[in-house]
């Protein structure tokens, strides 16, 4: 089993697309608690002068994103099983999975990948 790796190029929060914590929720529900959500700062782009205070601009660019806690990860793959970006990858809508450590089975469904990793 491999340690989970969050691919910041495909993970929705890390890309600044939207809030998402599906991997976090699934890992916690399984009892592993190996993913934590921490705030990251995204680029906000140009803002008209006086529209918002500097604090408001900073807060608008902050989003919670998943990070793997290496000491708690057992490498089960449940995070990728639940990951939206990984599902999109299985549908061949993205070139890479959000959690690349478990995407080494071309054509495998998320369920098959999860089952293979559980069986070790």
pLDDT tens figures, 18-62? 889 999 999 999 999 999 999 999 888 898 999 999 999 999 889
Q: Please report, to the nearest 10 degrees, the dihedral formed by the alpha carbons of residues 43, 46, 51, 54 taken in order.
A: 40
Q: Which domain holds residue 47?
A: 12-119
Count up the domains in the chain and report the number. Answer: 1
Copy the structure tokens of residue 30: 């399984």
Answer yes or no: is 3 within a domain.
Answer: no
DSSP at 75: -
User: Does the pTM of the predicted model rise above 0.85?
Assistant: no
H helix runs in 30-95, sequence order: 54-60, 78-82, 84-90
pLDDT (0 to 100) of residue 45: 85
Answer yes or no: is 93 within a domain.
Answer: yes
Copy the structure tokens of residue 19: 């809030």
DSSP at 16: T
Answer yes or no: is 6 within a domain.
Answer: no
Task: For the chain, give the mean pLDDT.
Answer: 78
> Could you give the C-alpha distances from 12 to 53, 70, 117, in angstroms and in order?
27, 21, 24
Answer yes or no: is 7 within a domain.
Answer: no
Answer yes or no: is 5 within a domain.
Answer: no
Rounded mean pLDDT of 70-96? 74
Q: What are phi and psi of 36, to 5 degrees?
A: -120, 150
Answer yes or no: is 46 within a domain.
Answer: yes
pLDDT (0 to 100) of residue 102: 45
Answer yes or no: is 63 within a domain.
Answer: yes
Q: What are phi and psi of 30, to 5 degrees?
A: -80, -10
Answer yes or no: is 1 within a domain.
Answer: no
């Amino acid at each position: 089993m491999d340690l989970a790796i969050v691919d910041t190029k495909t993970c929705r929060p890390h890309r600044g697309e939207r809030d998402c914590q599906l991997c976090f929720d699934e890992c916690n529900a399984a009892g592993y608690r190996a993913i934590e959500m921490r705030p990251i700062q995204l680029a906000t782009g140009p803002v008209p002068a006086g529209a918002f205070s500097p604090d408001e601009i900073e807060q608008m660019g902050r989003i919670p994103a998943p990070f793997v806690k290496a000491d708690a990860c057992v490498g089960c793959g449940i995070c990728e099983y639940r990951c939206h970006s990984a599902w999109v990858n299985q549908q061949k809508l993205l070139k890479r999975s959000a959690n690349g450590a478990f995407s080494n089975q071309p054509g495998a469904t998320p369920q098959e990948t999860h089952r293979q990793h559980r069986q070790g």
